[in-house]
């Protein structure tokens, strides 16, 4: 496996306007693959065809990537380096472990008590710990440094996904039911003690024959609202980037629901929202940035060997967007982490490249840095990295499963 990162810094000498380029190489590695049972549905076939296409070239045959215009990195100010997070939580060696952004342990290290594995939808991190499913006793646990509480009001008779608010006061969960010709799904919210439980939304199996959609809670906002969405289930194949089918906003104070991003025809391409909920990142082949106020979009140009793109996240001020691309060939994979200006100024700028694996952006620490995972397909190892938006200071932090950012109290 070879990993290359290319940073270009053009400059001028005298009046001759002589352009020189400096190329620096460094290492990294990334992400995950999903394999599920595929229903005999034309909709799911169409989805896979958008991601697994006929390729006319291989990485070894392709031309080198054209030079992109480098981004100027000003000296950081306090507002740029300040973060809304204390660190991040991982699952490693059957423990929940909190780390700072230098990879050093924080206050949190708790035994998972028999849990074998988790994913981003079965676990949710808050300021004091983590709530998760996939337990041996089929219970939802809330794990803090002080101990473990069981949330008995959430049934584990059906598959369940959970999201807890940053302060740990509210929780949302989604049930999935299977049987018959299509799945059903329910979305619920409650206070963390189980009071004020409400059924927010429901998908009936008889209305779900064409798309096989299920609910997933996405995240609680700082003002106490819930962003949730629909996802396609029953999809199989070599799918590198997951995505949402639609996103909505639920206000538990008045019970209102607002659709933020409508049902996407391709079904699994909505990546994320900006912090102020004014922009959506939508990507399958290319990354599109949509203004939610009027629906207008810009499409970021595809890079060389980019057959799919995903895991796109906006920086805190929405100035930048970071995302990943892939070639979509499990025998000859090639993936890049890319940064672009959200206004479409300049070209998308690849800052990390991995041969023989896939990369996934996890989210921004602050306006300057973000985390990504690197998955080595040969060794099946996933590592978590920190990097600055101009490609500088790539730092491997840990080999572990990422669960989420730890919010500041």
- pLDDT tens by residue, 230-259: 998 877 778 889 899 999 999 999 999 999
Per-residue pLDDT band at 74 (split at 50, 70, 90): very low
Cα–Cα distance measured from residue 175 to residue 265, given in angstroms and rounded to the nearest whole number: 24
pLDDT surpasses 70 at 280? yes
CATH superfamily of 3-53+81-407: TolB, C-terminal domain (2.120.10.30)
- pLDDT tens by residue, 294-309: 999 999 999 999 999 9
Per-residue pLDDT band at 83 (split at 50, 70, 90): confident
Give mean pLDDT, residues 26-50. 38
> Comparing 86-100, 106-120, 183-197, 370-384, which segment has the lowest mean pLDDT?
106-120
Cα–Cα distance measured from residue 145 to residue 168, given in angstroms and rounded to the nearest whole number: 14
pTM recorded for the entire structure: 0.81
Residue 81's pLDDT is what? 57
Residue 366's pLDDT is what? 96
Per-residue pLDDT band at 266 (split at 50, 70, 90): low
Of 4-13, 106-115, 275-284, which one has max mean pLDDT? 275-284
Q: Count other C-beta atoms under 10 Å from residue 71's C-beta.
A: 17
- pLDDT tens by residue, 152-173: 999 887 778 999 999 999 999 9
Mean of the per-residue pLDDT values for the chain?
82
Give mean pLDDT, residues 364-389. 96
pLDDT surpasses 70 at 63? no
Give mean pLDDT, residues 260-268. 80
- pLDDT tens by residue, 135-154: 777 889 999 999 999 999 99
> CA 230, 254, 196: angle at the middle one, nearest 5?
80
> Comparing 39-53, 202-216, 311-325, 350-364, which segment has the lowest mean pLDDT?
39-53
């Amino acid at each position: 496996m070879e990993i290359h990162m290319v940073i270009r810094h053009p400059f001028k000498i005298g009046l001759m306007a002589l352009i020189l380029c400096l190329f620096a190489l460094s290492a990294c590695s990334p992400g995950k693959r999903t394999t599920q049972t595929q229903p005999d549905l034309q909709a799911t076939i169409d989805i896979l065809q958008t991601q697994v296409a006929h390729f006319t070239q291989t990485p070894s045959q392709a031309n080198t990537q054209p030079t992109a215009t480098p981004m100027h990195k000003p000296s950081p100010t306090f507002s740029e380096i300040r973060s809304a997070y204390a660190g991040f939580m991982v699952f490693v060696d059957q423990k929940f472990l909190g780390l700072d952004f230098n990879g050093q342990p924080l206050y949190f290290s708790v035994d998972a008590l028999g849990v074998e594995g988790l994913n981003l939808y079965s676990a949710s991190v808050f300021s004091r710990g983590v709530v998760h499913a996939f337990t041996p006793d089929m219970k939802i646990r809330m794990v803090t440094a002080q101990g473990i509480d069981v949330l008995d009001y959430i049934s584990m008779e059906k598959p369940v996904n959970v999201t807890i608010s940053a302060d740990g006061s509210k929780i949302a969960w989604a049930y999935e039911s299977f049987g018959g010709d299509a799945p059903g799904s329910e979305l619920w919210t409650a206070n963390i003690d189980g009071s004020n439980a409400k059924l927010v939304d429901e998908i009936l199996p008889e209305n779900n024959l064409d798309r096989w959609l299920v609910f997933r809670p996405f995240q609680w906002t700082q003002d106490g609202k819930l962003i949730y969405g629909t996802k396609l289930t029953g999809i199989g194949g070599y799918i590198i980037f997951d995505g949402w089918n639609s996103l909505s906003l639920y206000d538990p104070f008045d019970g209102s629901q607002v659709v933020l991003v409508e049902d996407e025809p391709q079904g699994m391409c909505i990546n994320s929202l900006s912090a102020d909920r004014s922009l959506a990142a939508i990507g399958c082949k290319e990354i599109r940035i949509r203004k939610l106020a009027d629906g207008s979009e810009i499409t970021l140009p595809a890079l060389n060997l980019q057959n799919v793109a995903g895991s796109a996240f906006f920086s805190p001020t929405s100035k930048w967007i970071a995302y990943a691309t892939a070639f979509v060939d499990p025998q000859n994979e090639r993936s890049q982490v890319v940064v672009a200006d959200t206004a479409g100024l300049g070209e998308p700028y690849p800052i990390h490249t991995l041969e023989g694996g896939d990369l996934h952006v996890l989210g921004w620490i602050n306006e300057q840095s973000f985390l990504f995972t690197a998955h080595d397909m040969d060794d099946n190892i996933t590592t978590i990295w920190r990097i600055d938006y101009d490609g500088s200071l790539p730092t491997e932090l840990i080999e572990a499963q990422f669960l989420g950012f730890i919010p500041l109290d």
